[in-house]
């Protein structure tokens, strides 16, 4: 999601012999899938489907991400996250196509799908390393999240979370829970909860309390080398964990979170829209009303 260096002007063709698809489980994708099939036939590229958990939709023969030169996500941000996780362990790049969604992680509109594949094949792209959030408990790695890691109440009553950074207590909050986000995930749940946006190039992660009851607990931005500790007390309604917006079966009373650099690789095309511009275009960030009013006046009264 970071801007490509202006010095990247010479390109070498990318050898593509196998592309693996990850598709949205329900969204209408017939035209997009047929475009990929036609492009693959034209360029003699094999096409398969990378299977992910909870995905029963079959559009191509199953294939391992390890056997792909490129993994392509067709859907929204959830599909892109599933593809990035699937490709992370075998270090394969992921090209995400936004099919009728906000698409913060999907830089390419579905109408430009064939063009995007042409750009990758021509080598006019750059690998962008995305950090993950490694969650561990009692010395054992539990999981890795790409966007955010959330602990929240599961029902009535509040959950109490003690937030510590590098062994130093920051705050103990009672409320709906805590969301911890990576830089590229900071524009998702964390921003909705009032957390800051970490701009492209920022290195670190952020913890934001969810509906804290009476606490003074501003969002906490941590250094990339820091360890965030969450000590959790469930209320009578219980608690739950969410990873990248999906419920998790994790069970722990104390979780340590660290940034894992270079966890996954996203394809960035030459001339791609800057991430901050994308947030404005999608309406997730917009100007204040006073600025818009002044702008409107100047358009109607240029003198």
pLDDT band at 10 (very low <50, low <70, confident <90, very high): very low
The predicted model gives 191-209 an average pLDDT of 92
Q: Is the separation of the CB atoms in 182 and 130 below 8 Å?
A: yes
Provide the annotated active-site residues. 77
Q: Do 112 and 38 sit in the same domain of this protein?
A: yes
The confidence score (pLDDT) of residue 299 equals 66
Tell me the per-residue pLDDT of 220-270, one tens digit each, with 9 for 90 and over.
999 999 999 999 999 888 899 999 999 999 989 999 999 999 999 999 998
pLDDT band at 279 (very low <50, low <70, confident <90, very high): confident
Angstrom distance (rounded) from CA 238 to CA 158: 9
Q: Do 138 and 254 sit in the same domain of this protein?
A: yes
Tell me the per-residue pLDDT of 25-36, one tens digit each, with 9 for 90 and over.
888 899 999 999
Tell me the per-residue pLDDT of 118-174, one tens digit each, with 9 for 90 and over.
999 999 999 999 999 999 999 999 999 999 999 999 888 899 999 999 999 999 999
Residue 275 located in a structural domain: no
Containing structural domain, residue 89: 18-123
Residue 200 located in a structural domain: yes
- Average pLDDT of every residue of the chain: 88
CATH assignment of the domain containing 257: 2.60.200.30
């Amino acid at each position: 999601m970071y801007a490509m260096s202006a010095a990247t002007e010479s390109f070498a063709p990318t050898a593509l012999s196998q592309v693996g698809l990850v598709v949205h489980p329900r969204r209408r994708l017939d035209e997009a899938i047929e475009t990929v099939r036609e492009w693959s036939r034209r360029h003699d590229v094999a096409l398969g489907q990378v299977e992910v958990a909870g995905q029963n939709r079959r559009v191509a023969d199953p294939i391992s991400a390890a056997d792909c030169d490129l993994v392509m996500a067709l859907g929204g941000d959830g599909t892109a996250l599933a593809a990035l996780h699937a490709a992370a362990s075998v270090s394969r790049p992921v090209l995400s196509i936004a099919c009728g969604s906000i698409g913060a992680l999907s830089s390419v509109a579905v109408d430009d799908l064939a063009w995007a594949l042409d750009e990758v094949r021509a080598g006019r792209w750059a690998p962008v390393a995305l950090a993950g959030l490694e969650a561990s408990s009692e010395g054992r790695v539990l999981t890795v999240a790409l966007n955010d890691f959330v602990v929240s109440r599961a029902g009535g009553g509040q959950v109490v979370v003690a937030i510590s950074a590098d062994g130093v207590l920051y705050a103990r909050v009672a409320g709906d829970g805590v969301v911890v986000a990576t830089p590229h995930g900071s524009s998702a749940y964390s921003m909705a909860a009032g957390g800051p946006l970490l701009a492209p190039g920022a290195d670190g992660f952020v913890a934001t309390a969810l509906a804290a009851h009476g606490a003074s607990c501003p969002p906490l931005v941590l250094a990339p080398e820091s360890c965030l500790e969450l000590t959790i007390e469930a209320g009578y309604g219980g608690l739950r964990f969410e990873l990248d917006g999906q419920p998790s079966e994790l069970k722990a009373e104390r979780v340590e979170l660290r940034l894992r650099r270079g966890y996954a690789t996203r394809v960035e095309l030459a001339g791609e829209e800057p991430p901050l511009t994308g947030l404005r275009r999608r309406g997730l960030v917009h100007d204040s009303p006073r600025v818009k009013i002044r702008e409107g006046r100047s358009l109607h009264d240029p003198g």
